[in-house]
Structure 1
Amino acid sequence: MQTPLYRDPIHDGATDPTLIYNRQERQWWMVYTSRRASAEGPGVAWVHGSDLGVASSPDGGRTWTYRGTLSGLEFEWGRNTFWAPEIVYREGVYHMYVSYIQGVPTAWVGSRTILHYSSPDLLAWKLEGPLKLSSDRVIDACIFEKPAGGFRMWYKDEANNSFTYAADSDDLYEWKPIGPALTHRAHEGPNVFRFHDSYWMIVDEWSGQGVFRSDDLEHWTPAGHILAASGKREDDAGFGHHADVVVVGDEAYIFYFTHPGRAARGGAGQDGREQRRSSVQAARLRVRDGELICDRDEEFEVRLP
């Protein structure tokens, strides 16, 4: 398998990947936060002002080609910030939930909201509106259909200890906050999927991915910790950050990003382009004794249908 799986050729800051099958092109798309790792500027300006990058794969996820950025998302004047897209397909419509920050802050300040867009083809996007959730500092939406009907969203609430909070919807348009879902420690980037007859949630704990297991999407039990130790593949050093999982039958693939320059000797504590750049990697997930495990160094091929 190609490693790293993908690097953004424009700003070299591909992070927060989400995968969606483009039914019009008959190819898999990776949509991601295109951080401006190559940009100059004070503070954390490089993390902001980001577009949503797009790469496509003609061969089931084994190789990826940069295609550009999603357009038509802006709804107010200026250069603004789009982070961490989540895209689901339902009855002929793609629904995207993306974190939004006005402008290009140079520090970790200001409100954050989650915007809902809809599209028939992943290209023409209609703003359905900002979501009213548990605070004005919410990011990193994840959506999963509930077994009894309707949908649940999990997201990071920075105003409430950076815990994962949840909201429910019957139609993907109107959402009702229902309170906290995970409160064990501060974290971000929840991702929920079903694999081997269980529901799983992974969260970015900035020390790898914390893993939780559930039978009902309501009660979550700790079930492992993955992507903590560095891998041996090119650019797979350091923690595995904010990830997406695609389940294909009995296989599950995790797509995550690394900051390999930060893990290199002398990289810790530095803040240059080498430490800011990021790479997307993929690995295979397995279940053993009720826990989720991941061998970052395993040889395998991604095979998306």
Structure 2
Amino acid sequence: MTSYGATTRSPARMITALLLLASAPVAPKPLYRDPVHDGAADASTVYDRKSGEWVMFYTNRRADLPQDDSKDVRWVHGTAIGTARSRDGAHWTYGGTANIPKSCTGDTLWAPEVQYLAGQWHMWLTVVPGIFRDWNAPRFIIHLTSPDLTSWTCGERLDLGSDRVIDASVIALPKGGYRLFYNDEHQNKAIRTADSSDLVHWTPGERLTQTPGEGPKAFYWKSSWWLISDAWKGLLVMRSPDATTWTAQPDHILATPGVHPTDRAMGQHPDIIVTGNRAYILYFVHQSGEADTQAKPDLWRRSVLQIAELKETDGILSVDRNAPVRVRLKPQTASRLP
């Protein structure tokens, strides 16, 4: 997730920006499909200043794994982290799997969170130590660092007081320090927080949700902090003036399936790219709503990544997933606090 503050523009600059957007490429549907296992999910997208490219890290689910038992979930285990690159944010090229040391991780890697903070790249990664047929396994979050988004060095395993934690999202706080948002499965899969002054030592804090969910993404946009998480009935939206006190939006976004092929199921596990005054949401979609799924029941496991533009009106976020999305992502220099 990448978050950048908006800037004040003159009318002439606004007109120029609108003209540039009008000439921007329309994103395809799907935005991205993993060419190896056809199970792309859980994206985290950042700008690589050295290459001038946008880089996407994602969970590389093994959706093509032959299975006879519908309850067998080995296909979401044994997963690497896939990568893709783009110059414009609309067209993506597969970049192989991330070079993540197995010495500190394991066979199953989920939900990367990549951020440039304190002078280097950081990744927080969910690890499941093995390949399992069911969901009954420990899960924890590992911290890694990199100078270049290519070579990753093992850091610490986060001590969050639970052996079932997944899906990190990290922000730099306005008054200093950092806040981690994550899912604690032992607390009814609630979204919780933890705070740190050094990105290494974390103190668990509040439980933010009473209903279950996962895949939180926190970001600053339009003079507010936002937290969007996957509630398995669309995406829950929460808003805050200070990243501490949160108010939930009454409805869920991306709950209603889209009308276009490959986008006909609810949106799941968001990523957010804020670029100037605009914000884009990336989400994954299972292919259960496609016409050939009944003839090929295993196709429901396949998932693709889609993109849509966020809209904000009077403190409420909305998404029109059926509208064409013109994507023009600005080259970024570094994350900025509001």
Name the structure where strand makes up a greater proportion of residues: 1
Query: Which amino acid letter does the alignment assign opposite residue 257 of structure 1?
Result: F
CA apart distance, 1:115: 0.3
1 or 2 for the larger relative contact order (CA 8 Å, sep ≥6)? 2
Alpha-carbon distance between aligned partners in 1 of 2:151 and 2:164, rounded to the nearest angstrom: 27
1:74 aligns with 2:99: no
2:24 maps to what in 1?
Answer: none
Structure 1 runs, 4 residues or longer, greater than 6 Å off: none
- Residue by residue over 1:156-212, the C-alpha shift from the partner in whole angstroms, topping out at 9 and shown as x without a partner, is 0001110011100112111111131222x1111111111111111111011110111
What residue is the counterpart of 1:166 in the other structure? 193
1:178-257 maps to which residues of 2 (within 5 A)?
A: 178-183=205-210, 185-223=211-249, 224-257=251-284
Give how far 1:265 is off. 5.5
Q: May I ask how many residue pairs the two structures share in their alignment?
A: 300
Return the match for 1:62 from 79, 83, 90.
Answer: 90
Q: Paired residue for 2:326, among 273, 276, 301?
A: 301
Is the radius of gyration larger for structure 1 or structure 2?
A: 2
Residue number in structure 1 paired with 2:142: 115
Judged with a 3 Å threshold, the aligned counterparts in structure 2 of structure 1 residues 266 and 69 are, in CA distance, closer, same or farther, namely: closer
Task: Tell me whether 1:47 sits opposite 2:76 in the alignment.
Answer: yes
Once residues 298 and 39 of structure 2 are traced to their aligned partners in structure 1, the CA distance between those partners, rounded to angstroms, is 10
User: In the alignment, which of 164, 178, 195 is matched to residue 137 of structure 1?
Assistant: 164
Cα deviation digits, residues 37-84 of structure 1 (max 9, x gap)? 0112450000000000000002x201000010012320169x610000
The SS at the match of 1:109 is: coil
**C-alpha contact 2:101 2:154 (8 A) present in aligned 1:** yes
Shift, 1:228, TM fit: 0.7
Contact map agreement 1:203 1:209 (CA 8 A) in 2: yes
Whole-angstrom CA distance in 2 between matches of 1:52 and 1:31: 6
Check if 1:14 corresponds to 2:40: yes
Residues 203-233 of structure 1: CA distance to partner in whole angstroms, max 9, x if unpaired? 1011110111111111111124200111122
Q: Distance in 2 between matches of 1:54 and 1:132?
A: 27
Measured after TM superposition, the shift of residue 289 of structure 1 is 2.5
1:134–1:157 Cα contact (<8 Å) kept: no
Q: What residue in structure 2 maps to residue 24 of structure 1? A: 50
Determine what percentage of the aligned residue pairs are the same residue: 41
- 2:319 pairs with 1:290: no
SS in 1 for 2:299: helix
What is the CA–CA distance in structure 2 between the aligned matches of 1:92 and 1:220, rounded to whole Å?
Answer: 29
Q: Given the alignment, which residue of 143, 146, 150 partners 2:177?
A: 150
Q: Is the 8 A contact 1:154 1:165 kept in 2?
A: yes
Structure 1: gaps (5+ residues): none
Give the alignment's Cα RMSD to 1 decimal. Answer: 1.7
**C-alpha contact 1:134 1:179 (8 A) present in aligned 2:** no
Q: Contact (CA 8 Å) 2:233, 2:252: kept in 1 or not? A: no
Distance (whole Å) between structure 2 residues aligned to residue 188 and residue 4 of structure 1: 23
Structure with bigger helix share is 2
Instruction: Give, as a single letter, the amino acid of the residue that structure 1 aligns with 2:172.
Output: E
